[in-house]
């Protein structure tokens, strides 16, 4: 690991502490005090996932605590210490920081239409684990996903898409074909869930970095689905 990376790691607790101190010193509590409790390192993968679950519950209840992003801005300029990575779709309605009610610096987000992990995405997640110390990777599908729907159309009807869009189809095709084999009532929902599950499994077993972190108990992977209508994330 490079010296800069090591220095970054050693600064993590300092950055977290600085954010708490800044909030405590604020004369006008623009950022609710409850949000500051979220700055503590979640400690382990299970607590990291619970933090996401709790944040989504706040979002669903329309009681978010991350509504003012100015506190901690100076500290964030010095480094980052996200606790979770989210692999989400590029869909404009699926914004991880919003739906998990987290602030800037909390989530390491990899986004691509169809929320799959290609080599560049995997490298990003490896950086998140090895250098930034993320404790969980959540692959997040969502309702009414156009990329999944287009892949279903391509698989079932042979529809050909222009430009580079076929590369998305190729990446999502295994999940669609696996879902079709089970003959589900709702193929779009089943393929979306299968796509998230397959990619979470890929992250969990990807050698050498992510699989080693998982075996060491430093990292857990999960898949979930985001319902655009209700705002709720359901973990598989």
Q: How far is the CB of 162 from Zn ion (least distance, A)?
A: 19
Number of residues that bind Zn ion (CB under 5 A): 4
- Total Cβ atoms within 10 A of residue 116: 24
φ, ψ dihedrals at 116, nearest 5°: -115, 165
What's the closest the beta carbon of residue 80 comes to Zn ion, in angstroms? 26
CB of 82 to Zn ion, least distance (A): 22
* Residue 141 near residue 148 (C-beta atoms within 8 A): yes
- Residue 145 binds Zn ion (CB under 5 A): yes
Please spell the DSSP secondary structure of 144-177, one letter per residue: T-HHHHHHHHHHHH-----TTHHHHHHHHHHHHH
- Kindly report whether the peptide bond that precedes residue 208 is cis, defined as omega within 30 degrees of 0: yes
SS3 for 168-192, per residue? HHHHHHHHHHHHHHCCCCCHHHHHH
Q: Which is nearer to Zn ion, 89 or 110 (CB)?
A: 89
Residue 50 structure tokens: 């619970």
| Residues between 32 and 91 that touch Zn ion (CB under 5 A) | 89, 91
Nearer to Zn ion, 40 or 95 (CB): 95
Does residue 99 touch Zn ion according to CB under 5 A?
A: no
Each residue 113-142 as x (binds Zn ion by CB under 5 A) or -, in order, gives ------------------------------
190 binds Zn ion (CB under 5 A): no
Cβ at position 175, least distance to Zn ion in Å: 13
Residues that bind Zn ion (CB under 5 A): 89, 91, 145, 147
């Amino acid at each position: 690991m490079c010296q800069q990376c090591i220095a970054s790691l050693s600064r993590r607790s300092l950055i977290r502490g600085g954010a708490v101190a800044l909030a405590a010193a604020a004369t006008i509590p623009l950022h609710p005090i409850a949000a500051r409790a979220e700055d503590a390192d979640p400690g382990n993968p299970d607590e990291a996932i619970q933090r996401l679950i709790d944040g989504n519950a706040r979002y669903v209840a329309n009681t978010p605590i991350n509504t003012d992003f100015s506190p901690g801005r100076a500290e964030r300029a010095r480094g980052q210490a996200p606790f979770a990575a989210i692999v989400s779709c590029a869909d404009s309605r699926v914004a991880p920081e919003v739906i998990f009610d987290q602030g800037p610096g909390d989530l390491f987000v990899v986004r691509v239409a169809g929320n799959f992990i290609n080599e560049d995405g995997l490298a990003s997640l490896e950086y998140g684990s090895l250098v930034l110390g993320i404790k969980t990777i959540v692959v997040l599908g969502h309702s009414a996903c156009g990329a999944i729907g287009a892949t279903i159309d391509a698989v079932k009807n042979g529809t050909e898409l222009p430009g580079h869009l076929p590369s998305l189809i190729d990446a999502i095709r295994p999940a669609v074909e696996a879902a079709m084999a089970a003959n589900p009532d709702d193929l779009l929902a089943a393929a979306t869930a299968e796509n998230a599950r397959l990619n979470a499994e890929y992250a969990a077993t990807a050698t050498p970095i992510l699989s080693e972190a998982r075996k060491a108990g430093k990292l857990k992977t999960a898949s979930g689905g985001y319902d655009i209508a209700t705002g709720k994330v359901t973990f598989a």
